[in-house]
Amino acid sequence: MNVLRSELLKLVSVRTTWFLLGGMLVVEGLYAGLVASLLSEEQLRGRDVSELLVGTPLITVFVFTLGALLSTNEFRHRTADSTFIITPQRERVVAAKLLVGALAGIVFALEFIAINAGLGLSILSNRDVPVDGDTAVDIYTGVAVGMVLACVFGVGLGAVLRNQVVTVVAGLAVFFVLRGVALLLGDAGTYFPAESLAGLQGAVGEDFLLSQVTGGLVFGAYCVVFAIAGMVLTRTREIS
């Protein structure tokens, strides 16, 4: 419990957290506003409205980066020394970070839904474009779970890699570069991290993707693997 409180405090006591939260507001606000206003009614009909509902791919970057910072800040600013002197059971620190990452992911997800629905859907209703309620709920749920998992993924990957820049670059590679590779691989490619996350989000027009549930389970499995690797490595590696 103490460790969890400390990790929460670490999260909220740096400006970057708030910049990321505010940054997502601006970026997603722009995206939702533009997509809802500019796409033709034709394009927004039926499940194609998912173009709007899944939001910009950058939301994944925001939550992933936040998670990555939670882990790598300790090494970048060398606070790992005092952290692990106070809590020598290092895996507990990583576990607390994973939990805090999940909590932060929930907050970001709620913010995302508030912006996307508040701005995007209200523009659509002004334009009298109907949106299917079930579709919206499915996609928002998928995106929200995906954001929580992406933040946890960042924490896990950060704990494994430790270096801040390397972790963020690796994350970008996983979410963007690898996606291109996955496309070339056909079915096997749908099990890649970014592809399974996209499946979870439930976007339309990419029918070859995994279903939301399977996608969630696959991306969740990646998170578990990195989370456990992060805990084990943090426990066994030296802090010097």
Q: In this chain, which of 37, 82, 122, 125 binds other proteins, going by CB under 8 A?
A: 82
Please name which of 196, 33, 54 lies closest in space to residue 135, comparing C-alpha atoms.
54
Contact call for residues 133 and 45 (beta carbons, < 8 A): no
Q: In this chain, which of 38, 42, 88, 205 binds other proteins, going by CB under 8 A?
A: 88
Single-letter code of the amino acid located at 28: E
What is the Cα–Cα distance from 195 to 92, expressed in whole angstroms? 31
Q: Does 240 bind other proteins (CB under 8 A)?
A: yes
Single-letter code of the amino acid located at 172: L
Residue closer to other proteins (CB basis): 48 or 91? 91
Least Cβ distance, residue 17 to other proteins (angstroms): 10
Least Cβ distance, residue 80 to other proteins (angstroms): 8
Please name which of 90, 107, 101 lies closest in space to residue 64, comparing C-alpha atoms.
101
Helix axes 2-12, 90-115, angle to 10 degrees: 50
Number of residues that bind other proteins (CB under 8 A): 26
Q: Does 165 bind other proteins (CB under 8 A)?
A: no
Least Cβ distance, residue 12 to other proteins (angstroms): 9
Q: In this chain, which of 40, 42, 85, 207 binds other proteins, going by CB under 8 A?
A: 85
With 0-12 / 13-18 / 19 or more C-beta atoms within 10 angstroms meaning exposed / middle / buried, residue 49 is buried
Least Cβ distance, residue 156 to other proteins (angstroms): 20
Q: Which of residues 100-139 bind other proteins (CB under 8 A)?
A: none
Q: Which of residues 4-63 bind other proteins (CB under 8 A)?
A: 5-6, 9-10, 13-16
Q: What residues contact residue 94 under an 8 Å CB cut-off, 6+ apart?
A: 71, 155, 159, 227, 230, 231, 234
Residue closer to other proteins (CB basis): 85 or 184? 85
What is the Cα–Cα distance from 15 to 35, expressed in whole angstroms? 30
Token readout for 132 is 């299917």
**Candidates 82-90, 199-207, 215-223, 224-232; binding stretch for other proteins (CB under 8 A):** 82-90
Applying CB under 8 A, which residues contact other proteins? 2-3, 5-6, 9-10, 13-16, 73, 77-79, 81-89, 238-240
